[in-house]
A and B are shown apart, each in its own frame.
Chain A
């Protein structure tokens, strides 16, 4: 009896929201899901864009962190939401290109989302401690081939995990998974700590996560993956080292809705994002943290994410990194 009543109330609520969708979008606050915890790279990026974006949208953006399982919990919440543009997701490289490429049993695929934009690119850098005595990628690779080298990551299926494997592969290490040991940690901070205290030899992660360690002299950068050098990182680019394929290896943040998001809604997001990313305060804040602001329209964003996904997927297949369980 009670259940029937609840279902009835739910049905009415759904009916109300359905009619609301016909009016001019947006006519009520938009719920923005951040699939990672407060204070992390995604959270800070999302909250920084929320300011100018909210002004462009004209309705409040309700930011909610839904964390867990490497971004999967929040992504599923967005996947299951109604495709009316009132629930959007901050998609991130880990949750929407590495994890889908690696984990066979992930409850979502890229097809379950419609990407409306990618607005931020994060260069990836590889680093070691000064104590290791390693000064260049060649020295690192030589050491890897000797054996006994480990790399840390923020968890299985994270950008850090695939980044190290991809870098080793590109630099000619035949079987990167067997030659170097992967020591997963819980979170990016723990991954950096593992290199600092000698548990692991190196890590490859977003340059913003390494910036303070590099400027403090606690870590030595060996390489960055962007075509242009990264400020504050005294290290060659991947192209300088003759590995342009690594330029695909970058972090990014974008915004996605559930699949079936109407075209006009996606278009609106395109114009809002153009206005928001033009904001001077936003740009300077993001660039100070080492991000590259690169606005993509819905189509470009989709192509970019799929392109990266295919690269990662091919690598995962080749190295046998697929997680089946």
Chain B
């Protein structure tokens, strides 16, 4: 079959109202689900899965993909408006999105998030369509040693999100690494820091930690000082992002998209590290570095491009290798299996119509995301207008409910409040929360891949230098660490300029 034939076969599959309706519905469910704090994109997809059993395969899968894409964007709405990432992938968006909302630019931040998300989504989909085979074979050359060096390099992001004090950032990261060790030891299966509590055996729930760290401290500080915001009404600001701003951030968006595509095509990393990496790269390259963390629109653009860039690319290992890249694609893979489709290279031969149908659907989903996202922004931006006295109790209830619903476990709600306490203390002592989160995500990956490498080589360290990929990341890490140290030394030599 020629390309045109395949394309037509695909079009025949998706060229009906039902398929497009499912896609649109999926995006809408995703945006709303993602926008509810505690209801992550993963949950939204998991909840939608049973409904797809009775649909035709392509319709069901498009519905799930719609939810996925919508969810990743939807998560940025509460991240910007109420400092609560709706989904882990949008944690990086908090860093600049929330300060923008504080300055009365919520509409602008949301608009930029949407533009960046859609651009990245499109780039990611195109990468899937044109380079799936190439990227998949590249992803397969990532064994534990390559992973280890990649994660090691990614840990340098911490310097980028530490704010003014690298020391405080390092402290925060150390705390995150420490808490990430709770659970079962990967290699021996023994309990670590579980204190005899079976609930701790699975480690601390990520969503509980995330919400505890970002949302609860805001609420606590409101309780601490209820009148601090009296009289300060946040205005919505100008709703529109100007084309000028989009163009200014365009480089960061494209860079973020490619980081997303790259990290997305390697199974096992996910969207959150990609968003942080994209953010820290944008900050490193930006002329107004100082403004990052204080409401820089380019920061929002970079984070959102980073996480949405992953969305299409995670389908690369799924379709080309039959390997799910993260939890969400694992669920989507379940949907494939239920319909008797077996993802993998043979699918490009046996079910080429489904593959091309999916490609067409994916391209259309970027368009749907743009329009439904605009509608959602229009609806949700008024959240910024709600007085805090009304908004925060509602947010708290949503957080409790959402964290419980992740795993139907009341223990997780306790974890959320405990982390809220930790987050509040950190906030009062100006210890940034982002390094904590990055360390919490990357720490276990770093450890697991290091130990797997050691098992592979019989405890010889040379395996960590086994090929060009490892060398590439070692070099990158060395350069970055050198740059951080140099910047640190410069900063101490120059008399610090007091910020106004």
The residues of A with any CB-CB pair to B shorter than 8 Å are 33, 37-40, 43-44, 47-48, 64-70, 72-73, 76-77, 102-103, 105, 107, 150, 155-157, 181-187, 189-190, 192-194, 196-199, 211-213, 215-218, 285, 288-289, 323-325
- A66: chain B residues at CB < 8 Å are 407-409
Asked if A77 and B455 sit within 8 Å, CB to CB, the answer is no
Asked if B141 and A65 sit within 8 Å, CB to CB, the answer is no
In chain A, what residue has the closest Cβ to B143?
A199
Asked if B46 and A196 sit within 8 Å, CB to CB, the answer is no
Q: Which 4 A-B pairs have the closest CB atoms?
A: A68-B202, A156-B189, A325-B190, A39-B331
Asked if A192 and B198 sit within 8 Å, CB to CB, the answer is no
One of B46, B344, B452 near A39 (C-beta < 8 A)? B46
- B344: chain A residues at CB < 8 Å are 212-213, 215-216, 218
B457 → A minimal CB distance (Å): 10
**In whole angstroms, how far apart are the Cα atoms of A288 and B339 in the complex?**
9
One of A39, A64, A184, A212 near B342 (C-beta < 8 A)? A212
Asked if B202 and A324 sit within 8 Å, CB to CB, the answer is no
Supplied contacts A77-B409, A186-B448, A325-B188, 6 more A-B pairs, CB within 8 Å:
A72-B202, A73-B202, A76-B199, A156-B189, A213-B322, A288-B340
A284 → B minimal CB distance (Å): 10
One of A68, A187, A323 near B190 (C-beta < 8 A)? A323
**In whole angstroms, how far apart are the Cα atoms of A324 and B199 in the complex?**
18
Asked if A216 and B322 sit within 8 Å, CB to CB, the answer is yes
**In whole angstroms, how far apart are the Cα atoms of A199 and B448 in the complex?**
13
B133 at the interface (CB under 8 A from A): no
Query: Per-position contact with A for B129-172: 1 when CB-CB < 8 Å, else 0?
Result: 00000000000111110000000000000000000000000000
B211 → A minimal CB distance (Å): 17
Asked if A189 and B330 sit within 8 Å, CB to CB, the answer is yes
Stretch at the interface among B93-101, B179-187, B424-432: B179-187
Asked if B143 and A198 sit within 8 Å, CB to CB, the answer is yes
- A150: chain B residues at CB < 8 Å are 455-456
With A183-B455, A213-B322 known to touch, is A189 a contact of B267 (CB < 8 Å)?
Answer: yes
- A323: chain B residues at CB < 8 Å are 188-190
Asked if A183 and B46 sit within 8 Å, CB to CB, the answer is no
How big is the B interface, by class? 35 or more
Secondary structure class of chain A's binding surface, majority of residues: mixed
In chain B, what residue has the closest Cβ to A104?
B190
Asked if A197 and B340 sit within 8 Å, CB to CB, the answer is no
- A324: chain B residues at CB < 8 Å are 190
**In whole angstroms, how far apart are the Cα atoms of A316 and B143 in the complex?**
29
**In whole angstroms, how far apart are the Cα atoms of A40 and B347 in the complex?**
21
Asked if A107 and B198 sit within 8 Å, CB to CB, the answer is yes
Asked if A217 and B346 sit within 8 Å, CB to CB, the answer is yes
Asked if A40 and B330 sit within 8 Å, CB to CB, the answer is yes
Instruction: List residues of B (326-375) whose CB comes within 8 Å of A's CBs.
Output: 327, 330-335, 337-338, 340, 342-347
With A39-B49, A186-B186 known to touch, is A211 a contact of B340 (CB < 8 Å)?
Answer: no
B414 at the interface (CB under 8 A from A): no
Most A CB within 10 A of own CB, among B45, B322, B346: B322
**In whole angstroms, how far apart are the Cα atoms of A67 and B144 in the complex?**
25
One of B187, B332, B345 near A156 (C-beta < 8 A)? B187
B241 at the interface (CB under 8 A from A): no
B399 at the interface (CB under 8 A from A): no
Asked if B407 and A65 sit within 8 Å, CB to CB, the answer is yes
Asked if A103 and B189 sit within 8 Å, CB to CB, the answer is yes
**In whole angstroms, how far apart are the Cα atoms of A67 and B184 in the complex?**
13
**In whole angstroms, how far apart are the Cα atoms of A236 and B394 in the complex?**
61
Enumerate 29 A-B pairs (CB-CB under 8 Å) in ascending A order: A33-B408, A37-B327, A38-B42, A38-B334, A39-B330, A39-B335, A43-B334, A48-B338, A67-B407, A68-B201, A73-B202, A155-B184, A181-B455, A182-B455, A184-B189, A187-B330, A189-B324, A194-B143, A196-B140, A196-B323, A199-B452, A212-B322, A212-B344, A216-B344, A217-B346, A289-B338, A323-B189, A324-B190, A325-B185
In chain B, what residue has the closest Cβ to A325?
B190
Asked if A193 and B323 sit within 8 Å, CB to CB, the answer is yes
Asked if B346 and A156 sit within 8 Å, CB to CB, the answer is no
**In whole angstroms, how far apart are the Cα atoms of A72 and B340 in the complex?**
30
A164 → B minimal CB distance (Å): 14
- B456: chain A residues at CB < 8 Å are 150, 181, 183, 199
One of A64, A193, A196, A285 near B408 (C-beta < 8 A)? A64
Asked if B186 and A197 sit within 8 Å, CB to CB, the answer is no
A208 → B minimal CB distance (Å): 8
Most B CB within 10 A of own CB, among A102, A105, A157, A182: A105
One of B49, B144, B407 near A199 (C-beta < 8 A)? B144
A170 → B minimal CB distance (Å): 23
- B409: chain A residues at CB < 8 Å are 66, 73, 77
Asked if A156 and B337 sit within 8 Å, CB to CB, the answer is no
**In whole angstroms, how far apart are the Cα atoms of A194 and B139 in the complex?**
12
- B53: chain A residues at CB < 8 Å are 47
A14 → B minimal CB distance (Å): 16
A155 → B minimal CB distance (Å): 7
- A182: chain B residues at CB < 8 Å are 455
- B142: chain A residues at CB < 8 Å are 197
B203 at the interface (CB under 8 A from A): yes
A129 → B minimal CB distance (Å): 10
Most A CB within 10 A of own CB, among B189, B331, B335: B189
**In whole angstroms, how far apart are the Cα atoms of A317 and B330 in the complex?**
35
B333 → A minimal CB distance (Å): 7
Asked if A183 and B452 sit within 8 Å, CB to CB, the answer is yes
B50 at the interface (CB under 8 A from A): yes
Asked if B455 and A67 sit within 8 Å, CB to CB, the answer is no
B191 at the interface (CB under 8 A from A): yes
B377 at the interface (CB under 8 A from A): no
B438 at the interface (CB under 8 A from A): no
Query: Per-position contact with A for B299-339: 1 when CB-CB < 8 Å, else 0?
Result: 00000000000000000000001111001001111110110
One of A68, A102, A197, A285 near B203 (C-beta < 8 A)? A68
- A285: chain B residues at CB < 8 Å are 338
Query: Per-position contact with A for B261-274: 1 when CB-CB < 8 Å, else 0?
Result: 00000011000000
**In whole angstroms, how far apart are the Cα atoms of A218 and B347 in the complex?**
12
- A64: chain B residues at CB < 8 Å are 408
Asked if B183 and A69 sit within 8 Å, CB to CB, the answer is yes
